[in-house]
A = this chain, B = another copy of it.
């Protein structure tokens, strides 16, 4: 069998005929090398939103299984159009839908998880055609109903197919040249990262560096698939997401991320007894509210303050929930603030370099930026700040660590 290259193109890369021609040029490159190519496509930009808007007209609470069957047509249209165009150009290819491989998933409609991909079927199809144009974002569950993998799911489709075929490389084509050290819109010094580890990418992606779907990176890490994030509209190499290596560890910080979608909630004077945290966060989780940062101060006189952050959209629901628990928890006051944001520095090198935190705090202090909350992991340091300082903090941290 020849070498197999997996390429994924997002919605902006297939948004019209012109862009699809550009995609075809990218496909020709490995074809010219004699490789077989699997092209994973998203729906044309705007199509998924159009279908969701239709569903909202038809139903107040669209059934999730019907929703998946509905929105999966977006990718079905992309792959059919691309395949007929490529065939006109003499390329041996065909479109492949999720159920045709199949890409088997669980039945969590709208956010299904891939359970298995029939790689033998794919290999057989590759004996007949040189290019398989696979519909991203979609799979099929055990009873044959169409599922979707959640927003950005085509990234996961591509990485999963690459993993199933043990392809050496999964190329994710997008409308930016790669992953940046921070948001170029905020910081003119931001530059493209050449190599980044899976873990760093996970932290970057979850912070709004929206280049890759988080789940696709988890998949890539699990199956050790090298992911090359690059531009559809340029030949330049992009960012390689791979296993950690020693070069990466020599660098303290790989990137600076931020997230403005944060709201802070503080329960003042909570009686500090075993199980109090559980009684706060269990009902929050049951209501599907995602909590990000959590800080608890050492208790004083048997009482403590507990502070955490949620997304701004979830703030009202969270406050209502906590108010309902007042009798049970017995806090003295409930405070909240929507005008906060989170800035983070990320890097596998932090593990071996103490002093990153201190250096970050000094840099913030020099700009008079007050730190409201701190949370740390092995490869990440996050600070909650007043959101008006977000851009300044990002630029400051970027200059301090990335330069």
Contact = CB atoms under 8 A, between A and B. Distances in A.
Contacts of A54: 77, 81
Interface stretch (A93-101, A202-210, A243-251, A334-342): A93-101
A172 interface: no
Nearest to A82: B58
Contacts of A95: 66, 69
Contact of A76 (B61, B65, B70, B79): B70
Interface string A115-152: 00000000000000000000000000000111000000
What is the interface of chain A mostly: helix, strand, loop, or mixed? Answer: helix
Interface residues of A, number: 38
Contacts of A69: 76, 79-80, 95, 97
Nearest to A51: B77
Q: How many copies does the complex hold?
A: 2
A403 interface: no
Contacts of A144: 99-100
Contacts of A63: 83-84, 87
B66 A70 contact: no
Contact of A58 (B17, B51, B62, B99): B17
Given A54-B81, A100-B144, A144-B100, A87 B73 contact: no
A58 B17 CA distance: 7
A101 to B, nearest CB: 9
Pairs of residues from A and B, 7 with the lowest C-beta to C-beta distance, nearest first = A70-B80, A73-B73, A59-B84, A66-B84, A66-B80, A58-B81, A62-B84
5 contacts: A54-B81, A55-B84, A66-B95, A70-B81, A72-B76
